Structure 1
Amino acid sequence: MLVIKSKAFIILILAFGIFGIINTEMGVIGILPQLAQYYDISVSTAGLLVSLFALAVAISGPFLPLLFSGMNRKKAMLLVIGIFIIGNIVSIFAPNFTVALIARIVPAFLHPVYFSLAFTAAASSVSQDQAPKAIGKVFMGVTAGMVIGIPITSFIANVSTLQLALLFFAIVNIITFLAILFFVPSMPVKEKMSYGSQVSVLKKPVLWMAIFSAIFILSGMYAAYSFFAEYLESVTGMSGGLISLMLVLFGLTGVAGNLLAGKLITNHALKTVVVFPIIFGVLYLIVYLLGSFTVPMVILIALWGVLFTFGLNISQYMITSSAPEAPDFSNGLFVAFANLGVTIGTIVGGAFISGMGTQSVMWSALLFLTLGFVAVLFFVPLARKDYKRIAN
C-alpha cells in the first residue's frame, strides 16, 4: 500500500474529504426544484434534505467525535467516508422521498466526526505554532464545497439527469476514500483521554465565551450570506448569470481568505479575533449603503469572500484553543455550534427580510456581529489568562 509522508499532500487529501462532505450537504441546494419534481413534493418539503441534515450535524457534533476520539484516525475517516458513499449511492436509486431523506440523515450524524478528525490530524501533522495554517488549508474544502459544489451539481442536473448529479457526490467521496486508504499513513491515538476528562473542559468559562462568540459571529455571517443571491438580484439588480459569477468570485477570494487567516491567527491570534467583527461590520454597512451599485458591489463581494472564510477560521480557533487538552471534542463542539449559528442567522435574516425588505438583512447581520464583538471582549482576557496558565 502506498503511503505518502508529505504533510502538504496529506492536508490536501483531508481538505478534499471536507469538500466531499460539504458538497453532499450543500450541493442539493442547487437541485431542490428537480428533486421536488422527481418525488412529486413541494420545494419546501424537499428543503428537509438540507435542514434535517444540518439538524443531525448539530445534534451529533458534541458527542460522536468524543466517541471516536480513541479510534485510529485513518480507520475512523475511512468509516465515515464509506458511510457517506453508501448514502450517496442509496440516494441515486431511492424509490421515494423518505428513503432519500434517510440516506442523507444517517451519514449526516457522522459529518462532525470527519471534520473533527481532519482538523485534529492537520494540526497534529505540524508544530503547534503552525497548526492554524494547517487548519486554514483544510478549511479550503469548506469553501470549495459551498461555492463550487452547488453550481457543479446544478449544471450536471441541467445538462444530463438528476441521478448523474447525485452520482457526482458519490464520485467525490469515492476518490477521497481511495486517497485516504492508499496515501494517508496510519494515525493511531497515542494517548487516549477518558470521556469524562474531555467533557470536563465544559467547566471552563473561556470555552463558553468562545462558543457564544462563535455563535454570534457565525449567525452574523449567515444572516447575510444565506440571502446572498436574493440581495444581489433584488437590491443590486444583477442577472442570474452575473450572480453565478459573483458566487465564483466569492469562492476564489474565500480561498485566499483561508490562507491569510491561517497566517494572521498564527502570528496575531487575539488581535485578529478582536478586529474581525469590526471590519466585517464596516463591510456590511458599506454593502447596505452601496448595494444598488454594481461595480462597487463586485469589489465588496471580493472582500466579503475573504472575510467570510476568516470568520470560519476564527470561530474554530477560539473554541479549539480554549480546550487544547480535548482536540477531538472541541472540534466537535465547533461543528455543532457552527451549524447552530447557521440556523439562527438564517432564521433571523429571513425574518428581517419578511418584515422590512431584502436590504434590511444587513441590519440583522450587523446586530449579530455587534453581539459577537461584545462576547469577544469577554473572551480575550479569559483566553490570555488561560494561555498563561497552560504555559506555566
Structure 2
Amino acid sequence: MAKRNNLLIFILTIGVFGILTTEMGVVGVLPLVADYYHISVSQAGLLVSLFALAVAISGPIMPLLFSGINRKKVMLLVLGIFVLGNIVSMFASNFTILLIARVIPAFFHPIYCSLALTVAATSVSREEAPKAVSKVILGVTAGMILGVPITNYIASETSLEITMLFFAVVNAVAFIATLVFIPSMPVKERLSYGSQVSVLKRPLIWLAIATVIFIGSATSSVNTFITEYLETVTNISGNILTLALFILGLSSLIGNLVGGRLLMRNAIKTAITFPIVLGIVHLLSLLTGTSTGPMMFTILLWGFLFAIGNNVSQYWITSAAPEAPDFANGLFLSFSNLGITIGTAVGGLFISGMGAQYIVLGGLLFLLLSLVSILIRKYMFDFKKHLSTEGMK
C-alpha cells in the first residue's frame, strides 16, 4: 500500500509540475517572446497574468463541477488539453493565437491541481496529510520556480518553439503515467454542490482567502520579474543568470519539504513567522541586489521562503474547510492565482515607476497585509476556543 501511494503521489507531482511549468515557465522567456512577436515585455507579460486570471476565475467553479466524476478520467482530460494547447503554441503564427492557446487550458488548471492535492491528502492518515500534500506542492513549486531557469536555458540554447515542445512533453509524460499506472478512481462519497459552497458562509474561510491572496501577491510581485531584476539590478546574464535561477529553484524544492514538516509541527507558528522572515529577506535584497555574490545568497533565501509560502497558503485555506477538500483546494488555486495577477500588476508598476530594484516594496506591503489577516484569524480561533472552554465550565 505504501509503495502504491508513493507512486500515486509521484505521478501527481509530475502532473502538477507539467501544468505549473506551462503556466510560469514563460516568465524566463518573456523578453524572447517580446522580440519574437515584436511586442513589449509588458504585453508579453499577459501570458502570465491572463493565465493566472483564468485560473482565478475557474478555480472555485471547475473543481466543483467535476467533483463527482471519476478522478482518473478527469486528470487525463486536463492533461490532454494541456498537451494540445502546448502543441498549438509551438506553431502560433502571432501573439494572439499564442495567448488563446495558453488561456483555454488555464481554465482547466484548477481541476487537476485541486484533485492532486485532495487525492494526496486522502491517501494517507490525517496526521501525515500535510507531508503528503507538500510532496505534490513540490511539483507546484518546481513548476513555478524551477521551471523558469529550465525554460530560460532551453530557449537560450534552442528556440521558443522547442521551449513550447518541452511543455508539451512534460504534460505528455504525466498523461501516459496516469493512463498506465493510476487505477480507476470513482468518487464514492459525493458531496452536494450546496454543502461544499456553504463553507463560504464562514468568516474564517474569507480570512483564509485574504491570506492566500496577500501571500500570492507578495511572492509574485517579486518572482514574476526575477529575470528582469537580475539582469538590470545585479547585472548578470547568460550562464550566470541561469545559475541564479537554478539556485532559486533548487532552494524552493528544499523549502517546500521543510514547509510541510513545519506545518505538521506547529501550523500557527509557521504561518505567523513566514511573512516576517520573508519581509526581512526583501529588505536584505535592497543591500545585496547590486552585488552578484551576496545576491546569490538572497536568491537562495527567496526560493526557500517562496516555497514555504505555497505550503502555508494551501494549509491555511483547507484547514478552514476540511469537509470540502476539493472546493477548498479550488479556492486555494483560484485566489493564489488572483494574487499572482495582482502581484504581477503591482510589481510592473514599481518597475515602471521606480525601477526593478524596488519591486520588493510591493512584496513588503502584501506581506504586512498577510500577517494582519493571519493574526486576526488566530485571534478569532483563540477567542472562540476560550468561549467554548468557559462554556464547558
Q: Could you tell me the TM-score, scaled by structure 2's length?
A: 0.91
Displacement of 1:56: 1.1
Structure 1, residues 46-69: CA drift from partner, whole Å, max 9, x if none? Answer: 443333222211110110011011
Which position in structure 2 is the counterpart of 1:323?
321
**Alignment-derived partner of residue 351 in structure 2:** 353
Give the superposition deviation at 1:126.
0.7
Tell me what 1:375 maps to: 373
Pair 1:34–1:303, CA change in 2 (3 A): closer
Aligned counterpart in structure 2 of residue 16 of structure 1, from 14, 17, 29: 14
- The reply to whether residue 208 of structure 1 matches residue 206 of structure 2 is yes
Call closer, same or farther: CA 1:4–1:373 in 2, change over 3 Å.
Answer: closer
SS in 2 for 1:279: helix
1:75 aligns with one of 65, 73, 76: 73
Structure 1 residue 261 corresponds to structure 2 residue 259? yes
Q: Is the 8 A contact 1:147 1:251 kept in 2?
A: yes
CA distance in structure 1 between the aligned counterparts of 2:92 and 2:357, rounded to whole angstroms: 40
Q: Which amino acid aligns with 1:316?
A: Q
Matched, 1:173 2:141: no
* CA-CA distance at 1:37 after TM superposition: 5.3
Matches within 5 A, 1:295-310: 295-310=293-308
User: 1:322: how far off?
Assistant: 0.4
Query: Which amino acid in structure 2 is aligned with residue 50 of structure 1?
Result: V
Partner of 2:310: 312
- 1:230-288 superposed Cα distances (whole Å, 9 cap, x missing partner): 33333334344322211111111111111111111012111111111111111212222
After TM superposition, give the deviation of residue 158 of structure 1 in Å: 3.9
Pairing of 1:7-156 with structure 2 (within 5 A): 7-36=5-34, 39=37, 43-156=41-154
Report deviation, 1:177.
0.7
Q: Which amino acid aligns with 1:349?
A: G
SS of residue paired to 1:236: coil
Counterpart of 2:154 in 1: which secondary structure?
Answer: helix
Cα offsets for 1:335-381 (capped at 9, x unmatched) = 11101111212222222333333333222211111111111101123
- Which letter does structure 2 place at the counterpart of 1:362? V
For 2:378 and 2:274, the matched residues in 1 are separated by 13
The structure 1 segments of at least 4 consecutive aligned residues displaced by more than 6 Å after TM superposition are 385-389
- Number of the residue aligned with 1:233: 231
Q: Which residue of 2 aligns with 1:245?
A: 243
In the superposition, relative to structure 1, how do residues 200 and 287 fare at CA in structure 2: closer, same or farther (>3 Å)?
A: same
Counterpart CA distance in 1 for 2:61 and 2:122 is: 21
CA distance in 2, matches of 1:289, 1:155: 28
Contact residue 27 and residue 149 of structure 1 kept, 8 A: yes
C-alpha separation in 1, matches of 2:283 and 2:34: 37
Amino acid at match of 1:270: I
- Following superposition, the deviation at residue 383 of structure 1 comes to 4.3
Give the whole-Å Cα distance in 1 for the aligned partners of 2:30 and 2:229. Answer: 20
Over 3 Å counting, the alpha-carbon distance change for 1:384 and 1:138 in structure 2 is: farther
After alignment, is 85-94 or 340-349 more displaced?
A: 85-94
Larger deviation: 34-43 or 225-234?
A: 34-43
Matching residue's letter, 1:312: N
Distance 1:93 1:235 in 2: 34
- Computed over aligned residues only, the root mean square deviation of the Cα atoms, in angstroms, reads 2.4
Aligned residues between the structures: 388
3-state SS of the aligned residue for 2:236? Answer: coil
Find the aligned partners of 1:191 and 1:167 in 2 and give their Cα distance.
Answer: 39
Cα displacement (A) at 1:309: 0.3
Distance 2:95 2:63 in 1: 29
Shift of 1:164: 2.7
Unaligned runs of 5+ in 2: none
Task: Give the residue type in structure 2 aligned to 1:127.
Answer: S
* 1:38-91 Cα distance to aligned partner (Å, 9 max, x none): 555555544433332222111101100110111121111111111111222222
Conserved? CA contact 1:322–1:383, under 8 Å: no
Q: Is the CA contact 1:4–1:183 (under 8 Å) kept in the aligned structure 2? A: no
- Same amino acid, percent of matched pairs: 57
Structure 1: give runs of 5+ residues left out of the alignment: none
Q: Measure the CA separation in 1 of the matches of 2:314 and 2:37.
A: 38
The separation in 1 between residues aligned to 2:126 and 2:186, in whole angstroms, is 19
